Structure 1
Amino acid sequence: MQLWEGEYLSEATPIIIGEQHSLEALGEQRKLNIILPAGYHDEPEKRWPVVYMLDGGMQQDLMLVTGLERWNRLWGRSEQAIIVGIETKDRQRELLPATSDPAEQGQYPTAGESAAFRKWIAGSVKPLIEQTYRTSGTDVLVGESAAGHFVVETWMNSDELFDGYAAISPSMQWSNQALARQITGPFEGKPPIYLSIADEGGATEEGIMDLADAMEETQDVCFSDRRNDLVHANSLHGLLPEALQYLLPADADWLDEYGLKLRCERLGQSGTQ
Structure 2
Amino acid sequence: MKHLTFLLLFVALFSNVSRSQDKTVNIQTSTKPFVLGITDEIQSAQLAEKRSLNIYLPEGYDQDTKMTYPVIYLLDGSANEDFIHIAGLVQYCTMIQVMPKSIVVGIANVDRKRDFTFPTTVQQDLKDFPTTGKSEKFIAFMEKDLQSYIQQKYRTNASKTIIGQSLGGLLATEVLLKKPELFNNYVIISPSLWWDNESLLAKAPELLKSAAARNIKVYVSVGTEGKVMEQDAANLAAVLKKSADQSLQLIFNPMPAENHLTILHHSAYKAFEVLNAKK
- Report the TM range for the smaller structure's normalisation: 0.7 to 0.9
Q: Deviations over 1:177-224 (max 9, x none)?
A: 111111217777451111111112232223212111112343401100
* Separation in structure 1 between the aligned mates of residue 75 and residue 134 of structure 2, nearest angstrom: 15
For 2:169, the equivalent position in structure 1 comes to 148
> Shift of the alpha carbon at 1:250?
5.8
Alignment partner of 1:150: what SS? helix
For 1:121, the equivalent position in structure 2 comes to 142
Give the alignment partner of residue 223 of structure 1, picking from 241, 252, 262: 252
> Is 1:20 the equivalent of 2:39?
yes
Alignment partner of 1:117: what SS? helix
- Residue 3 of structure 1 contacts residue 9 of structure 1 at CA under 8 Å; is this kept in 2? no
- Code of the residue aligned with 2:188 in structure 1: it is A
- Residue 185 of structure 2 contacts residue 218 of structure 2 at CA under 8 Å; is this kept in 1? yes
* Separation in structure 1 between the aligned mates of residue 241 and residue 159 of structure 2, nearest angstrom: 25
> Shift of the alpha carbon at 1:161?
0.8
Larger Rg: 2
For 2:269, the equivalent position in structure 1 comes to 241
Aligned length: 249
For 2:237, the equivalent position in structure 1 comes to 212
> Shift of the alpha carbon at 1:17?
2.3
Alignment partner of 1:52: what SS? strand
- Code of the residue aligned with 1:203 in structure 2: it is V
Distance 1:176 1:42, change over 3 A: same
* Separation in structure 2 between the aligned mates of residue 131 and residue 29 of structure 1, nearest angstrom: 18
- Residue 76 of structure 1 contacts residue 250 of structure 1 at CA under 8 Å; is this kept in 2? no
Alignment partner of 2:241: what SS? coil
Give runs of ≥4 in structure 1 deviating > 6 Å: 185-188
- Code of the residue aligned with 1:197 in structure 2: it is V
For 2:4, the equivalent position in structure 1 comes to none
> Is 1:38 the equivalent of 2:59?
yes
> Shift of the alpha carbon at 1:73?
1.7
For 2:92, the equivalent position in structure 1 comes to 71
> Shift of the alpha carbon at 1:34?
1.0
Alignment partner of 2:72: what SS? strand
**Identity score, percent:** 27
Distance 1:12 1:94, change over 3 A: same
For 1:80, the equivalent position in structure 2 comes to 101
* Separation in structure 1 between the aligned mates of residue 175 and residue 199 of structure 2, nearest angstrom: 14
Alignment partner of 1:200: what SS? coil
Map 1:154-173; keep pairs closer than 5 Å.
Answer: 154-173=175-194
* Separation in structure 1 between the aligned mates of residue 87 and residue 143 of structure 2, nearest angstrom: 23
- Unaligned runs of at least 5 residues, structure 1: 252-271
Give the alignment partner of residue 109 of structure 1, picking from 130, 133, 157: 130
* Separation in structure 1 between the aligned mates of residue 61 and residue 30 of structure 2, nearest angstrom: 27
> Shift of the alpha carbon at 1:3?
7.4
* Separation in structure 2 between the aligned mates of residue 201 and residue 110 of structure 1, nearest angstrom: 26
Aligned-pair Cα RMSD in Å: 2.1
> Is 1:62 the equivalent of 2:83?
yes
Normalised by the size of structure 1, how large is the TM-score?
0.85
- Unaligned runs of at least 5 residues, structure 2: 1-19
